[in-house]
């Protein structure tokens, strides 16, 4: 990699998130350019590449990663394809920003972590973008001052307008609550030790067979409880809220009060409709931070360990949902590279 020229990025997966990242790298952030895109759908890859100067289209991630103008990889393909893409990136010793989930289950996440550890240095930043959201960053900074005392409980609400047709009941945990799993670990600095999933009455707005909403309780090794209302067919908007209750006070984010209007005897505002809108600033800052640190030869942000821990907690959560009981989380010992 030449530090004096823009970082050449291969974006693997040009679906909703991948295409949004291509736009972001091409038009929003600085210091990088998209030099290759990869998609199993050749036409889709070519259509995206056609909109970016000097960008080539591929159907095979290995071919893109072998190209001379590719210095780093952004993986935004579906979760089950991440392991192969990451292992190929490791063969080329390329830095990677990998969208969440790192991989869909703990065993594959462990394989990825072991392969990275074998390189002897970190290569992967996992795309838990909430860690870059201004409100989450402020909440974390406040907790770190210790002014609120020890955190006892974290209440999270996570609502989507509607779930996509391929969404399953377990994906409410592995695809959606995965964010609160990471946010809980990061905000509190605790590991999650057990998961319980309660199931209220199905909403009439949920597609046939989908257990929506769900109520998830995460226990931590610091003695805190973090609960998550996950409701992916709420119909009215995209809401992510969190309130931490500490010994000396509480703090809350996500009320979306950036603009409140008062008019004709009413007051109110608008509700975001999806995560690309609600977390636009977080995605921009996340990708910019990754580009900046990569150009300096550093790797920061959520690690492969964080991706593995989230996968293990979500796997326990899916079992808790299926069996209707509390399931303990079993993590391997944290390798020295991630301490
Ligand atoms: C989606 O994959 C995301 O990552 C969104 O942030 C989340 O709100 C949504 O529920 C997931 O399906």
The full DSSP string for 170-208 is THIIIIIIHHHHHHHHHHH---EEEEEEE--PPPTTS-T
Residue 106 within any structural domain of the chain? yes
67 phi and psi, to 5 degrees?
-70, 145
Residue 306, in any domain of the structure: no
pLDDT at 258: 85
Identify whether the C-beta of residue 175 lies closer than 8 Å to the C-beta of residue 17: no
**Could you tell me the two tokens for 256?**
């979306």
Task: Give pLDDT, residue 177.
Answer: 98
Same-domain pairing of 209 and 142: yes
Give the residue numbers spanning the domain of 240. Answer: 131-278+311-338
User: Which among 121, 115, 42 is positioned nearest to 337, based on CA atoms?
Assistant: 121
Please check whether residues 107 and 179 belong to one and the same domain: no
Number of structural domains in the chain: 2
d(CA 209, CA 291): 42
Listed in sequence order, the residues at least 6 apart from 217 whose beta carbon sits closer than 8 Å to its beta carbon are: 195, 196, 197, 198, 225, 226, 227, 228
Please check whether residues 32 and 86 belong to one and the same domain: yes
What DSSP letter does each residue of 102-116 carry, written as one string? SSSSHHHHHHHHHHH
Residues sharing a CB contact under 8 Å with residue 314, sequence separation 6 or more, in sequence order: 101, 173, 174, 177, 178, 181
Residue nearest atom 10 of ligand 1, based on CA coordinates? 176
User: Do both 135 and 204 map to the same domain?
Assistant: yes
Each residue's pLDDT tens digit, 200-227: 999 999 999 999 999 999 999 999 999 9
Residue 1: its pLDDT value, please?
A: 66
Residue 120 CA to residue 102 CA, distance in Å, equals 19
The CB of 275 under 6 Å from ligand 1? The reply is yes
The verdict on 330 and 246 lying in the same domain is yes
Cβ of 136 less than 6 Å from ligand 1: no
Same domain for 238 and 328: yes
Spatial contact of 45 and 38, defined as CB atoms under 8 Å apart:
yes
85 φ, ψ (degrees, to nearest 5): -65, -40
What is the domain-level CATH number for residue 260? 3.30.360.10
16/151 same-domain check:
no
pLDDT of residue 212: 98
Residues 178 and 316 both lie in one domain: yes
Handedness of CA 334, 307, 222, 194 (dihedral sign): negative
Does residue 2 belong to any structural domain of this protein? no
The verdict on 181 and 330 lying in the same domain is yes
Q: How does the average pLDDT of the chain come out, rounded? A: 97
Whether 102 and 54 share a structural domain? yes
Ligand 1 atom nearest to CA at 167: 12
323 in any annotated domain:
yes
By most ligand atoms within 8 Å of CB, the mutation choice from 128, 175, 274, 282 for ligand 1 is 175
Handedness of CA 86, 131, 299, 310 (dihedral sign): negative
Question: Which residues have a Cβ under 8 Å from the Cβ of 256 and sit 6 or more positions away?
Answer: 239, 269, 271, 272
Q: Does the pLDDT value for residue 190 go beyond 90?
A: yes
Pair 164, 18 in one domain = no
Q: What pLDDT digit, counting tens, does each position of 237-290 carry?
A: 999 999 999 999 999 999 988 899 999 999 999 999 999 999 999 999 999 999
Whether residue 1 lies inside any domain: the answer is no
Residue 218 lies in a domain: yes
- Mean pLDDT on 69-98: 98
CATH number at residue 38: 3.40.50.720
Banded pLDDT at 4 (limits 50, 70, 90)? confident
Residue 24 inside a domain? The answer is: yes
286 and 206 in a common domain: no
pLDDT on residue 2: 67
What pLDDT digit, counting tens, does each position of 114-150 carry? 999 999 999 999 999 999 999 999 999 999 999 999 9
């Amino acid at each position: 990699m030449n530090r004096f020229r823009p970082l050449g990025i291969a974006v693997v997966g040009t679906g909703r998130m991948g295409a949004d990242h291509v736009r972001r790298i091409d038009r929003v952030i600085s210091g990088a350019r998209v030099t290759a895109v990869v998609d199993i759908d050749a036409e889709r890859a070519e259509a995206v590449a056609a909109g970016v100067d000097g960008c080539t289209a591929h159907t095979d991630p290995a071919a893109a990663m072998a190209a001379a103008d590719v210095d780093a990889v952004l993986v935004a393909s579906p979760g089950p394809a991440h392991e192969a893409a990451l292992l190929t990136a490791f063969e080329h010793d390329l830095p990677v920003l990998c969208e969440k989930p790192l991989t869909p289950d703990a065993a594959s996440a462990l394989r990825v972590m072991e392969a990275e550890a074998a390189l002897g240095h970190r290569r992967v930043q996992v795309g838990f973008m909430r860690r870059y959201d201004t409100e989450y960053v402020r909440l974390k900074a406040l907790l770190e001052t210790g002014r609120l005392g020890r955190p006892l409980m974290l209440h999270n609400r996570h609502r989507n307008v509607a779930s996509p047709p391929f969404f399953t009941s377990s994906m409410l945990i592995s695809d959606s609550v995965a964010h609160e799993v990471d946010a809980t670990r990061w905000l509190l600095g605790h590991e999650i030790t057990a998961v319980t999933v309660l199931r209220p009455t199905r909403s009439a707005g949920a597609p046939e067979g989908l257990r929506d909403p769900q109520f998830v309780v995460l226990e931590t090794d610091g003695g805190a409880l973090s609960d998550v209302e996950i409701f992916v067919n709420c119909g009215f908007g995209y809401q992510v809220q969190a309130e931490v209750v500490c010994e000396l006070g509480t703090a809350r984010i996500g009320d979306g009060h950036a603009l409140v209007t008062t008019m004709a005897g009413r007051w109110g505002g608008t509700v975001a409709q999806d995560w690309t809108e609600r977390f636009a600033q977080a995605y921009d800052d996340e990708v910019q931070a990754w580009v900046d640190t990569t150009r300096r030869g550093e790797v920061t942000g959520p690690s492969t360990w964080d991706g593995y821990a989230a996968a293990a907690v979500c796997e326990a959560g899916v079992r808790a949902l299926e069996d209707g009981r509390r399931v303990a989380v079993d993590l391997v010992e944290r390798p020295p590279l991630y301490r």
